[in-house]
């Protein structure tokens, strides 16, 4: 019988070694067998990774069957495209900190959390600053 995946136990061993914080390795597990494994980060940022040097959609579509090896996961983790996805993921962090720690960002920030897309806080934050500047422009100074 053809091997269709790796045992859930083996998969967890890989995950603990390569992704202990549960940041990127995702799997489809059927009857305790990991049949397909993909990268959550590269999938999330795929639109910005396309056209990137050596970018392969293998870890977006998911690897399976004979391609499903810990070596492949380790190789993906150190690939340029994956590192780019990592930096895209952590990129908005400073702005998020600013928004959360200033009175300007706070009122809308709770709304932002309802959206999972990372660019939302940037757009909302920018819009807020524009609104603020419009508000200031409208203030009459006697």
User: Which residues form the interface with Zn ion (CB under 5 A)?
Assistant: 39, 41-42, 82, 85
Q: Identify the CA nearest to 74 among candidates 36, 46, 50, 39.
A: 39
| Choice between 84 and 99, CB closer to Zn ion | 84
CA 35/CA 50 separation, integer angstroms? 25
Considering the complex, what minimum distance in angstroms separates the CB of residue 79 from Zn ion?
A: 7
| Choice between 37 and 99, CB closer to Zn ion | 37
Using DSSP's 3-state secondary structure scheme, residue 76 falls into helix
Question: Token pair for residue 80?
Answer: 């340029």
Token pair 């993909």 in the structure block, residue: 38
| Choice between 80 and 132, CB closer to Zn ion | 80
Considering the complex, what minimum distance in angstroms separates the CB of residue 47 from Zn ion?
A: 14
CA 48/CA 84 separation, integer angstroms? 9
Considering the complex, what minimum distance in angstroms separates the CB of residue 112 from Zn ion?
A: 25
């Amino acid at each position: 019988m053809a091997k269709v995946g790796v045992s859930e136990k083996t998969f967890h061993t890989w995950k603990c070694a390569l992704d202990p914080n549960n940041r990127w390795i995702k799997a489809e597990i059927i009857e305790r067998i990991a049949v397909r494994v993909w990268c959550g980060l590269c999938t999330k940022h795929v639109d910005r990774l396309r056209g990137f040097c050596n970018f392969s959609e293998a870890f977006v579509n998911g690897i399976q069957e004979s391609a499903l090896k810990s070596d492949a996961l380790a190789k993906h983790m150190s690939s340029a495209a994956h590192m780019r996805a990592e930096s895209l993921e952590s990129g908005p962090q400073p702005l998020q900190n600013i928004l959360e720690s200033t009175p300007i960002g706070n009122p809308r920030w709770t709304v932002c959390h309802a959206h999972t897309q990372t660019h939302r806080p940037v757009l909302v934050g920018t819009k807020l600053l524009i609104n603020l500047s419009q508000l200031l422009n409208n203030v009459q100074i006697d």
